[in-house]
Amino acid sequence: MDYPVEENLKMVRKQMALACKASGRNVNDVQLLLATKTVPLEKLQIAVQAGEHLFGENKVQELRDKYPLMEQSKALEWHFIGHLQTNKVKEVVKYVTMIHSVDRLKLGQVLHDQLVKEQRTMDILVQINTSYEESKFGASPEDAVELVEQLSQFETLHVKGLMTIGKLHASADETRQCFRLLKQLSMQIRERNIPRVEMEMLSMGMSGDFSMAIEEGATIVRVGTNVFGPRYLPDEYYWNEHKKIED
């Protein structure tokens, strides 16, 4: 192996523990989700051997390729963290136990219709564009409460919390504001006691900012680069694609 996944994992786990300690939180209250886009299987297997079990994919295509090869270890769990097109819903629900990126009513409706057919439920997070960047997916913070209320009408969907991508290539202050805003929104929503809506999870923090996200209340951090090394494709490829032709 050309990349020390195991050592990297130890380092990330250590940094997570430090951030928890610094903010008076319990290490067990923050989950590590490994973001696996473009990461080859060998590296994923090393992570599994090192005891990791929670993985997140951005593209259904990559999930389809990796999922059957990893499936032998039943304790593994996959979440979907990328932009989800409605025509991919039917396939994605086969693989994942949670979708972090529900950001519009239409997507909720299509998910619900599929889950009704299969007589199943799905845990979801509502993705919020806390940085107000054009290039990012996610509902605007102003629409968050209403969107959660609308989604709560679909009884197959269990809203577990919120997700965001903090502002990247920005000052630490700006990024922290994104995380604070997500936390505030989750508290506002919690106060409303909406049926089937729990606000126990905050998915926020990536390689560059997960310690800060933990300080601001993250319960899941999504880390790729710090564990698996740099990717060949720019993230715009994952975050920006199809933005203009969204349904």
The footprint of ligand PLP (CB under 6 A) covers 35, 37, 58, 81-82, 165, 206-208, 222-226, 235, 238
Instruction: Enumerate residues 6+ apart whose C-beta is below 8 A from 196.
Output: 152, 155, 157, 158, 159
Pairing of strands 31-35, 197-203: unpaired
Query: Nearer to ligand PLP by C-beta: 141 or 205?
Result: 205
Name the residue with the smallest CB distance to ligand PLP.
224
In whole angstroms, how close is the CB of 196 to ligand PLP at the nearest point?
Answer: 24
In whole angstroms, how close is the CB of 58 to ligand PLP at the nearest point?
Answer: 5
Query: Nearer to ligand PLP by C-beta: 104 or 156?
Result: 104
CA distance 25 to 105: 34
In whole angstroms, how close is the CB of 235 to ligand PLP at the nearest point?
Answer: 6
Q: Give the CA count within 13 Å in the CB-facing half-sphere of 42.
A: 4
Phi, psi of 157 (to 5 degrees): -105, 125
Query: Nearer to ligand PLP by C-beta: 58 or 129?
Result: 58
In whole angstroms, how close is the CB of 192 to ligand PLP at the nearest point?
Answer: 26
Per the CB < 8 A criterion, the answer to whether 238 and 37 are in contact is: yes
Query: Nearer to ligand PLP by C-beta: 6 or 208?
Result: 208
